[in-house]
Amino acid sequence: MSRELKRKIGVNFNDAGLAEIRFWSPEAETVELKTEAVTVALEKKELGYWELSGAGIYPGNTYQFLINGETLIPDPASLSQPQGVHGPSEAVDLSAFSWTDQDWKNPELGDYIFYELHTGTFTPEGTFEGIIAKLDYLVELGITAIEIMPVAQFPGGRNWGYDGVFPFAVQNSYGAAAGLQQLVDASHAKGLAVVLDVVYNHMGPEGNYFEQAGPYFTEKYHTPWGSAINFDDAWSDGVRRYFIENVLMWFRDFHIDGLRLDAVHAIKDLGVKHLLQEISEEVDQLIEATHRKHHLIAECDLNDNKYINSPDQHGYGMDAQWIDEFHHALRVTAGEPATGYYSDFSGIKDLEKSYRDAYIYDGVYSPHRLKTFGGTAEGNAGSQFVVFSQNHDQVGNRMLGERSSTLVSYEMQKLMAGAVICSPFLPMLFMGEEWGETNPFLFFTSHGDPELIKAVSKGRKAEFAAFHAEGEAPEPQSEDTFNQSKLQWDLLQSDGHSELLSFYKTIIGLRKKYAPLRNTNRKQLTVSADAKTNCLVLRRWEEEVQVLCLMNFSKNTQDITIPDDKPSWKKILDSADPQWKGRRAAPLSVDALQKMEIQPQSILIYTNKYA
């Protein structure tokens, strides 16, 4: 790898195996590198950087930085924290890993079928090795991309990952840097892309040594986590470079295929060029140099397509975004009470709009927000939106962490899966939903600071103070809370669970097999919903092939009239079929204008031509 492509901050090793150290601390008077054996001064350079070459430090050595002779901290750009967030950093040579994925080609986003997982609870082992052991299962399910919740080093061994404080260091209890590289390499060998969730809008509270190093934060903006990360104030160039280097590292040194950027609406940047646009441009340069494709996916709740428009369209250049509104409309249609943020959604007519327009609030008044909200997504392809019926936020931020399996009927679980997978968007599953996992996914932590533990527990209980009828909010710090959130793999062979898994495999297979379901062209569909019957008809096409999806979200049998543009339709999936533990199968074929009966809480899929 050329020198120009290598990481430009932290402790790195050149082709001769010598350390090259670059540390950013613009307001420091002196900076020294301390190891167990030596203390060496760094030389001050331009723009707040301090540098040192050939310092007698090698891979596996631990080190810290001493600022002004009195403040000793780990490296903010540390690649490894073997003793946790308060311990010294460990020097790592990322180029030491032997990759075998030279022939891997990252799929187009339109071919992604995501599977979101949390490393610590996905398997009994709670490690990257544990995930590797399940890759064949995910391939058989039909997944094309695994999406891993954040792995940046956090306090202790139990955390969702959004409290990370070393963005470059891979969580030691999961398997550290080499373990993640091994997972990516193994995934590529199985034909699976790997997406990693990263957090650039805030840092966790415990083990956060950034302020001692330099002006990483600004008081210009207020955020839910305190001072905002400094992306546009004095000395912000060094902070921006820090996070850009982080993006490039995941793609270049870990062969990650895509990043999901957490809550980008909380990135405060009023500079001429937004941080996200600069990231996009730097990634494009990396792609040109390495000929490896990478995707940038934003989580954003602003319904503003400038995040996913290209810079020449005055956008930030993100390739896609999560779209919560599809989820909210689907959940209310399925019976979720319209309270809290769900109060903005009326049900099936909103679901109809989301299939057609992606954004539901596209410049209309939002009663929940008490203001006109959003813009249109006109011109944005379906492949720029990720949709789901569950995810870590929507499950884990419920007081009791209930999954769909305990909130809706068995039949509704199949229907919701169909609604997501048959959409013109990119479908995502949340780990375990495909077999109806019954364990909750709860909020859990393993902080070491007693005061922080109390504050988190108090905050969680206050958040759900109005829900005492449902019991107490589980204690985040308890190991039992973490263990309750682990998947139960033995359920796969149980009655009902095995049939649900088979249903998921079948409908994912249909999405891959039938071009109208596989394409993400939002222009090639019609959709109509009947609020009275709570039924929806979605028709999609690709050239001569058409697919008709009939969905009944009501608890009663309903009559649906078949559209009249084709003479005959042939059934390819019926969630009410006895093979999926349904009560009555629909006819194998139906004619145009025929009125047919559709079972409660079910989906029927017909085509005019078998693929």
515 assigned ligand-binding residue: no
Q: Is residue 260 within 8 Å of residue 244, measured between CB atoms?
A: no
Here the tokens at position 471 are 């019991």
Distance CA 429, CA 111 (A): 14
- Residue 301 counted as an annotated binding residue: no
Q: Is 344 annotated as a binding residue?
A: no
Q: Check the annotation: does 396 bind a ligand.
A: yes
**Is 260 marked as a binding-site residue?**
yes
- Let me know the angle formed at the C-alpha of 259 by 254 and 262, rounded to the nearest 5 degrees: 130
| 11 labelled ligand-binding | no
**Residue with token string 């990650």:** 256
What's the first-to-final CA gap in the chain, in angstroms? 45
Annotated binding residue 324: yes
19 in Cβ contact with 11 (< 8 Å): yes
Among 392, 399, 412, 404, smallest CA distance to 436 is for 404
Q: Is 394 annotated among the ligand-binding residues?
A: yes
C-alpha 457/C-alpha 276 separation (Å) is: 34
Please tell me whether 328 is known to bind a ligand: yes
Sign of CA dihedral 264, 5, 106, 120: negative
Q: Is 247 annotated to bind ligand?
A: no
As annotated, the active-site residues are 262, 299
> Does 393 count as an annotated binding residue?
yes
Beta strands in 62-144 (DSSP E): 62-67, 71-73, 89-90, 114-117
* Beta strands, E only, 402-480: 426-430
Number of neighbours of residue 391 by Cβ within 10 angstroms: 25
Which residue type does 67 have?
A: I
Handedness of CA 110, 111, 113, 119 (dihedral sign): negative
Q: Is 261 annotated to bind ligand?
A: yes
User: Is 103 marked as binding a ligand?
Assistant: no
Is 397 annotated for ligand binding? yes
Closest C-alpha to 568, from 606, 512, 511? 606
Q: Is residue 262 annotated as involved in ligand binding?
A: yes
Annotated binding residue 477:
no
Which segments are annotated as binding site?
260-265, 324-328, 392-397
Which segments are annotated as binding site for substrate?
260-265, 324-328, 392-397
